[in-house]
A and B are shown apart, each in its own frame.
Chain A
Amino acid sequence: MRDALTGSRIRERRQIAGLRQAELARRVGISASYLNLIEHNRRRIGGKLLVDIAAALSVEPSVLTQGIEATLISALREAAVDAVGQQAEVDALEEFAGRFPGWAGVLAQMHRRVVSLERTVETLSDRLTHDPHLAASMHEVLSTAAAIRSTAAILAETHEIEPEWQDRFHRNLHQDAERLADSSKSLVAYLDDTETADDRRGVPLEDVEAFFERHDHHFPEIEAGADPSDLDLSGFDSTAARTVTRGFLDVYATDARAMPLDAVKAGLDGAEPDPLKLAAQFNVDIATVLRRLAALPEGVLRRPTGLVICDASGSILFTKSVPGFAMPRFGEACPLWPLFQALNRPLVPIRRRIVQLGRSAAEFDCFAYAWPQGVAGYDDAPVYHSVMLVRSVEEGQPSDQAIARVGPSCRVCPNDDCASRREPSILSEGF
């Protein structure tokens, strides 16, 4: 896991240095594809290569290997609080992750899996309760089983039974056995082949995020004018994930048409992006600019850039992670994020320098904007979505505004004085 973390850090530092993958690979004498594998944590790294990469990035090798990502720490803390009957040594958590990074990663991964499976169980349980087709199928199976059980018991336990009754019960038994076979088959087919199988994962957002992550949130085919429906989405297990992905790809295509890549690059010209100026330049709304900036190919923006989109209920609809900024996997994010504040002031672009309370205390420049999703008719209130661009800030870079303190989510936030706290923190003594 230390290697895995190192890969992510190399990628982060390379992006900060504004180096392309191919360039860094050339400088250290390896192929770009091998560096890509390292950065995506698929190859171990150490020794001379690590020293060479550190030198090429002008950092000490220890910068690339020390420290544990905030998201891993957050995941471990959540695993600790969710543990039943076990008191984890939360104060020694960082030491644990540092000394046994592999096990820490496994634990965090297992916890995520448990949470995901719990969601699936909830979904299926809910389905059993509310799905009329499934409820009817189950009723059919259980009723037939009841008939068979009663009839078989009568035949087995009744000593003197009239031949007429005996014949009738044998006939019923045969009839019910056939019916049970049919209804069981139909139930299994329903569970295997239809909606339930489609929604087996229960959490489509995870699949959607994994898909976008695999493509580095950038789709050259769409940039070149391809229709998003031409992209191969057959790898998805669930229809829900496919549908959600298709929706985001459609938005991507619309944004790309409104802000063509070459024009955006020319407009930026290496400078810090100013969403307001870009919106005016391309005659688009701020939300389009923020989404578009997060979808630019690697190297266009000098620093790592993430994105979060939520709806008016605060449910997270889409995320692009950025190193050092912890994003809860299933909503329940800190309500102080500018993302949610923008919902209180729709159509007003918000800019905030924030620090996410936690181990790294890294700073981020955030741009947030809430916009209506369209109005169906007269006197209908619009439903808003909100988007937030999260830009990591170079260490020591001054800010002309006050820095807001926000958390990842209440459970792993050390700020006890927060008026917006929803539940006690699991941190007993801060970081």
Chain B
Amino acid sequence: MSRKVLLIEDEPNIAEAIRFLLTREGWQVETHSEGTDAIEVIQGAQPDLVILDVMLPGKSGMDILRDLRELDDMRSLPVLMLTARGQSRDREMAENAGVSRFMTKPFSNAEVLTAVRDLHAQATQS
């Protein structure tokens, strides 16, 4: 059965590069670029993993994550967060919001792939 990742990122070229990488790894990749309706999109897509940018139009990734963790069936969904702000307080804020992995831009492709593989492996084991 195909594994599905939902990529919520408003930078189209980042989204395209990540989509390419993960598709070649056997992932089914869906993309979305808006923050406002992100929760509904996640609920509708039922992904195995979410890659979430922090700065999104309409609603920040941090707020989306907080709202997501309020939902019973979304508490354990792996979320990889991408951000240009790598300060310790941002990382702490993301951890408090329930992030699974935090990655700062500019990241390498290998880092993204490793993070996605690790998070998926952890989720399927538990």
Which A residues are within 8 Å of any B CB, using their own CB?
Answer: 129, 135, 138-139, 142-151, 153-154, 157-158, 165, 168-169, 172, 175-176
Residue on A nearest B90 in the bound complex, by CB: A129
Instruction: Please judge, given known A-B contacts A139-B84, A154-B21, A165-B20, whether A145 and B13 are in contact too, CB under 8 Å.
Output: no
**Which listed residue, A135, A142, A165, A169, touches B105 by the CB 8 Å rule?**
A142
Given contacts A142-B106, A172-B17, 18 further A-B contacts (CB under 8 A): A129-B87, A139-B84, A143-B14, A146-B105, A146-B106, A147-B11, A147-B17, A149-B108, A150-B17, A150-B18, A150-B107, A150-B109, A151-B16, A154-B17, A154-B21, A158-B24, A172-B13, A172-B16
Q: Cα distance A142–B86 when bound, in Å?
A: 11
Q: Cα distance A172–B112 when bound, in Å?
A: 19
**Which listed residue, A135, A149, A154, touches B106 by the CB 8 Å rule?**
A149
Q: Cα distance A147–B15 when bound, in Å?
A: 8
Decide if A151 touches B13 in the complex (CB within 8 Å): yes
Q: Cα distance A390–B21 when bound, in Å?
A: 72
Across the interface, which residues of B come within 8 angstroms of A157, CB to CB?
109
Cβ contacts A to B, 5 pairs, < 8 Å: A146-B105, A148-B106, A153-B108, A169-B16, A172-B16
For B, the interface residue count at a CB cutoff of 8 angstroms equals: 21
Decide if B108 touches A143 in the complex (CB within 8 Å): no
Across the interface, which residues of A come within 8 angstroms of B82, CB to CB?
146
Residue on A nearest B110 in the bound complex, by CB: A153
Most B C-beta atoms less than 10 A away, residue of A138, A147, A165: A147
Q: Cα distance A157–B24 when bound, in Å?
A: 13
Across the interface, which residues of B come within 8 angstroms of A150, CB to CB?
14, 17-18, 21, 107-109, 112
Across the interface, which residues of A come within 8 angstroms of B112, CB to CB?
150
B55 on the interface (CB 8 Å rule)?
A: yes
Q: Cα distance A146–B85 when bound, in Å?
A: 13
Most B C-beta atoms less than 10 A away, residue of A138, A142, A149, A150: A150
Decide if B106 touches A176 in the complex (CB within 8 Å): no
Decide if A146 touches B107 in the complex (CB within 8 Å): yes
Listed from nearest, the 4 A-B pairs whose CB atoms lie closest are: A150-B17, A142-B84, A146-B106, A146-B105
Residue on B nearest A147 in the bound complex, by CB: B13
Decide if A147 touches B55 in the complex (CB within 8 Å): no
Which B residues are within 8 Å of any A CB, using their own CB?
Answer: 11, 13-14, 16-18, 20-21, 24, 55, 82, 84-85, 87, 104-109, 112
Q: How far is the CB of B73 from chain A (nearest CB, A)?
A: 31
Decide if A176 touches B55 in the complex (CB within 8 Å): no
Q: How far is the CB of A387 from chain B (nearest CB, A)?
A: 40
Instruction: Please judge, given known A-B contacts A146-B14, A172-B13, whether A154 and B55 are in contact too, CB under 8 Å.
Output: no
Decide if B20 touches A154 in the complex (CB within 8 Å): yes
Residue on A nearest B24 in the bound complex, by CB: A158
Q: Cα distance A151–B21 when bound, in Å?
A: 10
Q: How far is the CB of B85 from chain A (nearest CB, A)?
A: 7
Decide if A143 touches B109 in the complex (CB within 8 Å): no
Residue on B nearest A139 in the bound complex, by CB: B84
Across the interface, which residues of A come within 8 angstroms of B87, CB to CB?
129
Q: How far is the CB of B86 from chain A (nearest CB, A)?
A: 9
Q: Cα distance A165–B19 when bound, in Å?
A: 11
Q: How far is the CB of B104 from chain A (nearest CB, A)?
A: 8
Q: Cα distance A169–B14 when bound, in Å?
A: 11
Q: Cα distance A165–B13 when bound, in Å?
A: 12
Q: Cα distance A154–B107 when bound, in Å?
A: 13
Q: How far is the CB of B25 from chain A (nearest CB, A)?
A: 12
Residue on B nearest A172 in the bound complex, by CB: B13
Q: How far is the CB of B9 from chain A (nearest CB, A)?
A: 9
Q: How far is the CB of A183 from chain B (nearest CB, A)?
A: 12
Across the interface, which residues of B come within 8 angstroms of A153, CB to CB?
108-109
Q: How far is the CB of B18 from chain A (nearest CB, A)?
A: 7
Across the interface, which residues of B come within 8 angstroms of A142, CB to CB?
84, 104-106
Q: How far is the CB of A121 from chain B (nearest CB, A)?
A: 15
Across the interface, which residues of B come within 8 angstroms of A158, CB to CB?
24
Q: Cα distance A279–B113 when bound, in Å?
A: 78
Decide if B18 touches A143 in the complex (CB within 8 Å): no
Across the interface, which residues of B come within 8 angstroms of A144, CB to CB?
11
Decide if A143 touches B17 in the complex (CB within 8 Å): no
Residue on A nearest B82 in the bound complex, by CB: A146
Q: Cα distance A151–B55 when bound, in Å?
A: 21
Q: Cα distance A135–B109 when bound, in Å?
A: 24
Q: How far is the CB of B105 from chain A (nearest CB, A)?
A: 4
**Which listed residue, B17, B104, B105, touches A151 by the CB 8 Å rule?**
B17
Q: How far is the CB of B10 from chain A (nearest CB, A)?
A: 9
Across the interface, which residues of B come within 8 angstroms of A172, CB to CB?
13, 16-17
Q: Cα distance A53–B81 when bound, in Å?
A: 74
Residue on B nearest A148 in the bound complex, by CB: B106
Q: How far is the CB of B45 from chain A (nearest CB, A)?
A: 22
Q: Cα distance A67–B70 when bound, in Å?
A: 70
Q: Cα distance A423–B107 when bound, in Å?
A: 45
Decide if B84 touches A154 in the complex (CB within 8 Å): no
